[in-house]
Structure 1
Amino acid sequence: MAPKKKEIGYMNKYVYDAFLWTFSVLVELFFREVHPRGSWKVPKEGPVLFVCAPHANQFVDPLILMRVVKKETDRRIHVLTAEKSMKRKFVGTMAAASGAVPVGRAMDKTKPAPGKIYLPDPINDPCLVRGVDTNFEASDFQIGGSLVLPKVNNVAASAEILAIKGPEEIRLKRPFKGGIAMQQLTGRNDMTEDGTFVDGAAAAIGPAPGYEGTVFKIAPKLNQTEVYDAVHTVLHRGGTIAIFPEGGSHDRTELLPLKAGVAIMSLGTVASKPDCNLKIIPVGMNYLHAHKFRSRAVIEFGNAIEVPVELAERFQAGERREAIAQMLETIREGLISVTVTAPDYDTLMLIQAVRRLYNPKGTKLPLPRVVELNRRLIQGYTKYKDDPRIIDLKKEVLSYNKQIHALRVRDHQVQYARVSVVTCFFLFWYRLLKLAVLSIFVIPGTVLFGAVFIACKLYSNKKAKEALAESNVKVQARDVLATWKLLVAMAVAPLVYTYYVVGITWLYYYNRCFGLLPVGWSKRYLVLAQVIIYPTATYAALRFGEVAMDIFKSLRPLVRMMNPWTANELTVAQARREKLAERITDIINTLGPEMFPDFHSKRVISDPFAQSPPSTPPRQKFIEEAEKEAPQPVESYDFPASPTSPSSDRLGLPKNESYADLANQDIFSTRPSTPKRHHSRRPSDGFGQGFQLKPFSTIGGNLDEVSKRIKSGMRSRGNRRSIKPIKRRNSL
């Protein structure tokens, strides 16, 4: 009897948890901070389809998502993983045991095809492709497959085959997009950047004279029926699936077009079981320098998207294209709400510079607020980028960036221009001494782990070059750097530590480590001590090294401020920064309310829990007039009682929130505060049913403003007291 075939997506919970715990240690080492936001929006039960973007890393993205979801909701995820990655022995074995669903990608199976292709009539019939020395009737060419053009600027255009007309003629489902693709297929340059031919181009119908076409590749059509069936099975059982709908990892600043697979999976699940109550959760994978060691990340969960049953019925009835397009657009809008995307890298750098300069409160913003501020600034820039004020401001910001780059200082270090030379002198030596002390902890671990660092860097750079050569969407292949740094560290670190343990143990028994150690130590305890000391020293080097590196970077501007020839340059940069920050604040406060109805003059980010005061019953005319003359009370925001669940009616903040900054809960909290229950008895005064969280003050530290508001409140109180006798007389 033939053995039973293993179910696709089968999950061993024990392997899953062990795998996740092991790699979570690596995540803790690689990232300085991973902050979940909005995790309370994830359903605790029922089928959930996590749709994640942008896909910055093929290994780290799913690992972080699995870790956050397990920690916040205690749910396990079946991740859709590229079949190419599953073929790696260790990663593939562990991923398969953890419930990963392998998905074949046509681009992974792309191969060169003989001959060349061109467009014989690019203006009137851009879907018609003709070949030279080709054989389109060969088995490699299939209806539903794709023609892929050579990469230009690390981008390769592709188009799907609709029909094969003969060995030298193919009809496409849709024409190639973009001016570069049209130039490759016609040899002409009389077209715009998006591939539209300019006026007068219609006189020349075909390609450029003498043009023989361009080389190309062929990508096959894949049958994903088994993948869809496995996804439907998991979701019908009430499980969770995670998919990265862009189709592959990349290092672009914008979202790539979403593949239709995510819409087919969601619509097919609901069509086959309309009462399954499937929820689609958009997840924003927001990284700050994802490829760099000790970077930071915010994983943001959006509002749940429900699949309309009517749309699923249309999908099943044959209106597949319209249903898929509508579902994809809904998912895309959900992803845009939780991601930070820019049209290009230069725009992203501009927005980050503006964000640093615009800080109404003058304080260090929490990481999730930084992400939200970037998102809103990009939205505003996209809308007003043609405004003359924005164009002029952009020039000023770029010029300022060039100035501080020439000074070899960072924006936050320009503040040293305010410090006197004497203060700089003592601050320099204090930090230098602090750096020396920290080096005592950093150097041993760096020496021990140096070989691992070197191996990670060299091998990850090699893999990045290989991925860049194979990919059609990568720009610098930075998305694969973090993956290979983690994998290499996981493989090389144990080897390096084992080498140290064996070497030191042998050296001790050979000459007691050159006579430095006493006689009589047990081999067992010597090995155990080394196993503990080496990882501890490495971890200490990482943590202390972060602080030491920050101190080291701060020494240069201090030296420049003590130098009379360069101190004036920083002073000029500081004055320019203050004027530029004031100008940015004025423009944002002017244009912000036009775009965001909930915009406040002191902040770009709104209070999502802010409520308008309840309407009051009609009053007598003379009372209304009296109260209109009285000064208005200070504006404040009332936060509603937090939503509760039957299983969690306790006062306090959830485990992934902090009391350190209560006023910022609306920005970076991962879920609304859930009330706690006292362990000894239930309170009867109403606190057991929830509490209201209010800002302590809306004043940014201005004492004059405090005095004015106190006086205003006292006058308002006096006016109310004078109104009370009038009310009593009218009641009589």
Structure 2
Amino acid sequence: MTGNSAATQNGKVQENTNGRPSEKYVSAGSSLRSIDKEQGYRTFCYDLVVWILSVAFDLFFREIKTRGAFHIPRDGAVIFVAAPHANQFIDAVLLMRQILVNSGRRVSFLTASKSLKQAFIGPLAKMSSPIAVDRAQDLAAAASGTIQIKRRDTPLEITGQNTKFTKELEVGGLIMLPKSLGTAPIAEIVSDQKIILKSGFKDKAFDYLVSGPTSYKRCPKVSNSQMYSNVFSHLHNGGCIGIFPEGGSHDRSDLLPLKAGAAVMALGAASSDPNCKVKIVPCGMNYFHPHKFRSRAVIEFGAPIEVPKELITEYAKGGEIKHKAVSEFLETIRQALLTVALTCSDYDTLMVIQAARRLYKPAQMKVPLSMVIEMNRRLIVGYTRYKDDARIIHLRKTVAAYNRQLQHLGLLDHQVEYAKLSTPAILGKLAFRLMKLVVLTLGALPGTILFGPIFIATKRISNKKATEALKSSSVKLQARDVVATWKILVALVLAPALYWVYALLATWVTYRFDLFPEIRPVWLITLGAMIVFPMITYAALRIGEVGMDIFKSLKPLITCLNPNYFNAMVRLKRTREELAKEVTETINVLGPEVFTDFEKFRMIHAAAVEESKKNV
């Protein structure tokens, strides 16, 4: 702000001709200070939420890595698009943390209005400066009568019985089928017993409607004009927006169809303000068993995408040209996400890919977690291209058979190497590990007992929430995407309460039996207990982690000692050696055809280089 309209100049309040601050400028200066104070408060709340939840995440996850953080723009308008959305509320906070740590920027995530009203999640979400989004599905209500599709050749025509379409429905609204079979938008309301859909139901939902009348719910037409206005304003001011373009969280191995919102936001913001240079940053949310305690995560940021000027021009024209521009840019976003997200057509294929990666990697080499993601991604790209090749078909069958043998023997791939050990060596390893396990168990026992109620509560509540989520979703397979979220949320609520109970109990016992007469006042016992008990639990966590790894290694050693299985182990080891050779040869032959930089940036070579840098 410059000239007479400025409230300040060179950091000083403007004065009138009498040498006193002008009332107009004093008022403007006060407003600026108020805005700065409010912004400071929001920043504090945002950082506090990220810090609190980061502590919980560091306990839940064994390892959280970031790749490509240098791609994050340090200034200007940015839309972070993240996928796959595999962990309900965890994904957003993990991204907020990594972006804040690596670039100092804060992100406002689009959040369902329904989530902002939840008892515990709502207040935390509001502290992170979200942008509320109204979803029609969250406003669903029971509707009168039943509906069905009477003819397969008219899939968009819905017929009702005892329905009140003209009174209860509206054009642009949705009808929702039971059993989480999906929704469809309404294009025309012909009468109380007939409506025309804009796009029809598919697969099971369509067959369900054709098979006979069914109850349904109605969803009102929702206008998100205010939401888009808030997004555009935020971007025009150089802010950051976060969005999960799949819409909701899921536990599938591939991406869900992307919603158009991210493309509309980018094109709309650029179209309404030519000076707004919006950039899209794709973010891959890659997890290893995301629902399990002490799992691993890799967050990868891709190269920023600038909005093409020609698409901005087409978007501004409106109509079909506008929709075409949105679809084209949405496909650009999808392709960018595929470069950073680990996706696969199905779970079985993903298991084969991961086994092939382990077979390709030399047994003695330790590959960094971030490189594991890259190796898996490249193998998926190669498999997708050559999946109909006879060599790949044969290799898939043999690798899948190897996986089944491992499962039958209860082994992990790296444990097959035990088959080459002599019986005395196996006995020595087994005895040493058993003694070590006993010591670690004794060390972890106090903390395990203290935290035991939390473990039980988190498991039961998270499983219950997963069951509820599975019933209300048409895209989830086992609803594992909500398990980790509820484990962390339950622990955040119950752990402090439980430790307070322990601390007060310790204080009472100390006071009642006068155990430490030299410590006065007794509230010092309470304070000390609130420090010591969490430390004992954390120690048990780390000790138990090592102990669990040792425990898992006992079974293959015992299997090797069993005469009935020893020969099977030896054969499995021979199978692995032959299979590893075949996998390596196939990758080395086909790899250069898929990746032009295969020889220069060979995966194993890159992994070795990255590991050597880490050890320097």
1:12 aligns with 42
Which runs of structure 2 are paired with 1:320-399 in the superposition (5 Å)?
A: 320-360=322-362, 362-399=364-401
CA distance in 2, matches of 1:65, 1:328: 21
Q: Residue 541 in 1 paired to residue 570 in 2?
A: no
CA distance in 1, matches of 2:527, 2:177: 58
Counterpart of 1:483, as a letter, is T
2:187 aligns with 162
Counterpart of 1:521, as a letter, is I
- CA distance 1:605–1:263, shift in 2 (3 Å): farther
Do the aligned residues in 1 keep the contact of 2:186 with 2:198 (CA within 8 Å)?
yes
Please list the CA deviations of residues 509-566 of structure 1 after superposition, one character each: whole Å capped at 9, or x if unmatched.
Answer: 2225xxxx55433324322321221111111111111111000110111122223332
Select the residue among 456, 462, 465 that pairs with 2:464: 462
1:247 aligns with 247
- CA distance 1:665–1:275, shift in 2 (3 Å): farther
Q: Residue 84 in 1 paired to residue 82 in 2?
A: no
1:142 aligns with 170
Q: Residue 477 in 1 paired to residue 479 in 2?
A: yes
Do the aligned residues in 2 keep the contact of 1:59 with 1:483 (CA within 8 Å)?
yes
1:498 aligns with 500
Do the aligned residues in 1 keep the contact of 2:132 with 2:227 (CA within 8 Å)?
yes
CA distance in 1, matches of 2:483, 2:413: 27
Deviation for aligned residue 1:345: 1.6
- CA distance 1:331–1:540, shift in 2 (3 Å): same
Which runs of structure 2 are paired with 1:204-223 in the superposition (5 Å)?
A: 212-223=212-223
Do the aligned residues in 1 keep the contact of 2:112 with 2:133 (CA within 8 Å)?
yes
CA distance in 2, matches of 1:665, 1:279: 32
Counterpart of 1:33, as a letter, is E
Please list the CA deviations of residues 647-673 of structure 1 after superposition, one character each: whole Å capped at 9, or x if unmatched.
Answer: xxxxxxxxxxxxxx881289x99xxxx
Counterpart of 2:355, as a letter, is A
Please list the CA deviations of residues 268-318 of structure 1 after superposition, one character each: whole Å capped at 9, or x if unmatched.
Answer: 110111121111101011111111111110100011011123322322221
- CA distance 1:262–1:606, shift in 2 (3 Å): farther
Counterpart of 1:135, as a letter, is K
Do the aligned residues in 1 keep the contact of 2:366 with 2:611 (CA within 8 Å)?
no
- Aligned residue for 2:109, secondary structure, equals strand
Counterpart of 1:144, as a letter, is G
Do the aligned residues in 2 keep the contact of 1:161 with 1:173 (CA within 8 Å)?
yes
Do the aligned residues in 1 keep the contact of 2:175 with 2:217 (CA within 8 Å)?
yes
2:3 aligns with none
Please list the CA deviations of residues 159-186 of structure 1 after superposition, one character each: whole Å capped at 9, or x if unmatched.
Answer: 22111111111112123233x2332232
Do the aligned residues in 2 keep the contact of 1:163 with 1:170 (CA within 8 Å)?
yes
Counterpart of 2:577, as a letter, is E
Counterpart of 1:142, as a letter, is E
- Aligned residue for 1:270, secondary structure, equals helix
- Aligned residue for 2:297, secondary structure, equals strand
CA distance in 1, matches of 2:506, 2:58: 29
Which runs of structure 2 are paired with 1:196-595 in the superposition (5 Å)?
A: 212-318=212-318, 319-360=321-362, 362-512=364-514, 517=515, 519-522=517-520, 523-595=522-594
Do the aligned residues in 1 keep the contact of 2:49 with 2:127 (CA within 8 Å)?
no
- Aligned residue for 1:664, secondary structure, equals helix
Deviation for aligned residue 1:603: 3.5
- Aligned residue for 2:564, secondary structure, equals coil
Q: Residue 129 in 1 paired to residue 158 in 2?
A: yes
CA distance in 2, matches of 1:602, 1:429: 43
Aligned residues: 577
Select the residue among 589, 600, 609 that pairs with 1:663: 609
Counterpart of 1:13, as a letter, is T
- Aligned residue for 2:158, secondary structure, equals strand
CA distance in 2, matches of 1:606, 1:414: 24
Do the aligned residues in 2 keep the contact of 1:360 with 1:603 (CA within 8 Å)?
no
Which runs of structure 2 are paired with 1:690-729 in the superposition (5 Å)?
A: none
Which runs of structure 2 are paired with 1:621-640 in the superposition (5 Å)?
A: none
Please list the CA deviations of residues 647-700 of structure 1 after superposition, one character each: whole Å capped at 9, or x if unmatched.
Answer: xxxxxxxxxxxxxx881289x99xxxxxxxxxxxxxxxxxxxxxxxxx99xxxx
- CA distance 1:86–1:116, shift in 2 (3 Å): same
CA distance in 2, matches of 1:409, 1:38: 34
- Aligned residue for 2:461, secondary structure, equals helix
Counterpart of 2:147, as a letter, is I
**Which structure: greater helix fraction?**
2
Select the residue among 168, 176, 190 that pairs with 2:201: 176
CA distance in 1, matches of 2:166, 2:89: 39
2:103 aligns with 73
Q: Residue 36 in 1 paired to residue 66 in 2?
A: yes
Do the aligned residues in 1 keep the contact of 2:444 with 2:544 (CA within 8 Å)?
yes
- CA distance 1:592–1:112, shift in 2 (3 Å): farther
Counterpart of 2:432, as a letter, is Y
With the length of structure 2 as denominator, give the TM-score of the two structures: 0.89
Counterpart of 2:105, as a letter, is R
Greater Rg by CA: 1
Identical-pair percentage: 47
CA distance in 1, matches of 2:144, 2:605: 58
Please list the CA deviations of residues 331-375 of structure 1 after superposition, one character each: whole Å capped at 9, or x if unmatched.
Answer: 111111110111122221221222222214741211111111111
- CA distance 1:564–1:253, shift in 2 (3 Å): same
Counterpart of 2:351, as a letter, is M
Q: Residue 47 in 1 paired to residue 77 in 2?
A: yes
- Aligned residue for 1:131, secondary structure, equals strand
Please list the CA deviations of residues 445-466 of structure 1 after superposition, one character each: whole Å capped at 9, or x if unmatched.
Answer: 1111111111111111111111
CA RMSD of aligned residues (A): 2.4
Do the aligned residues in 2 keep the contact of 1:274 with 1:309 (CA within 8 Å)?
no
Do the aligned residues in 1 keep the contact of 2:81 with 2:280 (CA within 8 Å)?
yes
Counterpart of 1:145, as a letter, is G
Do the aligned residues in 2 keep the contact of 1:599 with 1:606 (CA within 8 Å)?
no
Moved more, 598-607 or 336-345: 598-607
Moved more, 384-393 or 108-117: 108-117
Deviation for aligned residue 1:436: 2.1
Counterpart of 1:563, as a letter, is N
Structure 1 unmatched runs, 5+: 188-211, 608-660, 670-694, 697-732
Which runs of structure 2 are paired with 1:55-66 in the superposition (5 Å)?
A: 55-66=85-96
Do the aligned residues in 2 keep the contact of 1:416 with 1:558 (CA within 8 Å)?
yes
2:209 aligns with 185
Counterpart of 2:255, as a letter, is L
CA distance in 2, matches of 1:447, 1:414: 35
Deviation for aligned residue 1:605: 7.0
- Aligned residue for 2:468, secondary structure, equals helix
- CA distance 1:414–1:111, shift in 2 (3 Å): farther
